[in-house]
Structure 1
Amino acid sequence: MSAYMTQFAYTAEAWKALVKKPEDRAAVFAEHAEKLGGRVLSFYYCMGEYDGVVIFEAPNEATAASILFTAISPGHLRATKTTALMSVEETMEAMRRAKAEAYPGPTLWSPTPS
């Protein structure tokens, strides 16, 4: 399964509702992801541009997108940002593959100033 990290920010109305009646949104998202074929690995709240981050697995991008589309659809989030994650092993394999190939830069480009 592939891993994804989604950062999210609640609307002011969502925060108002959560403060009035606290709710474990990690459990809600985990149950939702499992119904659609995914699995939550971790869920954290944070301070800054985003209010939280969830790392989850899905068998493919279409499944990951369906998990996110349905989670976003109620309108309680003002922003999301999703990043596909690669394990160290996957990254090492990508580096080994890249080492075997050479990609030419533009003809007039030079990596050092002239």
Structure 2
Amino acid sequence: MPKFLIQATYTPEGTRGLLDEGASGRRAAVEHVVAGLGGTVEALYFAFGEDDFVAIIDFPDPVAMAAVSLGVKASGALRTRATPLLTVEEIDEATRRQVTFRPPGA
């Protein structure tokens, strides 16, 4: 299953919701939406600084990740970034595929 690193920052409205609901409530909400699209939450951590939480999530396909991303962003409660994560074996496979590329100006 494709794996994604999610980095999120709460808006002021989202932070108020976190204060009202607590971290356990938000984790349950994340697990519910992810499971609804056939995924699993591998890890979820709250943080402070640039990001308010980070998660590693497995989805059956990138379209499921896109669906969650759109729904979350439309709520206005979070700003998120999703980064696809690749295994060592997947990168090894990528290095075996030859690509011809001409850089700009070359």
TM range, normalised to the smaller chain?
Answer: 0.7 to 0.9
Q: Which has the larger radius of gyration?
A: 1
- Matches of 2:45 and 2:87, distance apart in 1: 20
Instruction: Give the distance between the partners of 2:38 and 2:48, measured in 1 at CA.
Output: 30
Instruction: Give aligned-pair identity as a percent.
Output: 31
Cα 1:6–1:102 shift into 2, 3 Å? closer
TM normalised by structure 1 equals 0.77
List gaps (5 residues or longer) in structure 1. 110-114
Tell me which residue corresponds to 2:40: 39
> Structure 2: any 5+ residue segments left out of the alignment?
none
For 2:3, the equivalent position in structure 1 comes to: 3
Choose between structure 1 and 2: higher helix proportion: 2
- Give the drift of 1:21: 4.0
1:103 pairs with 93, 100, 105, which one? Answer: 100
Q: Match for residue 60 of structure 2?
A: 59
Maintained 8 Å contact 1:29/1:71: no
Q: How far apart, CA to CA, are the structure 2 residues paired with 1:5 and 1:53? A: 7
**TM-score normalized with structure 2 length:** 0.82
C-alpha RMSD over aligned residues: 2.2
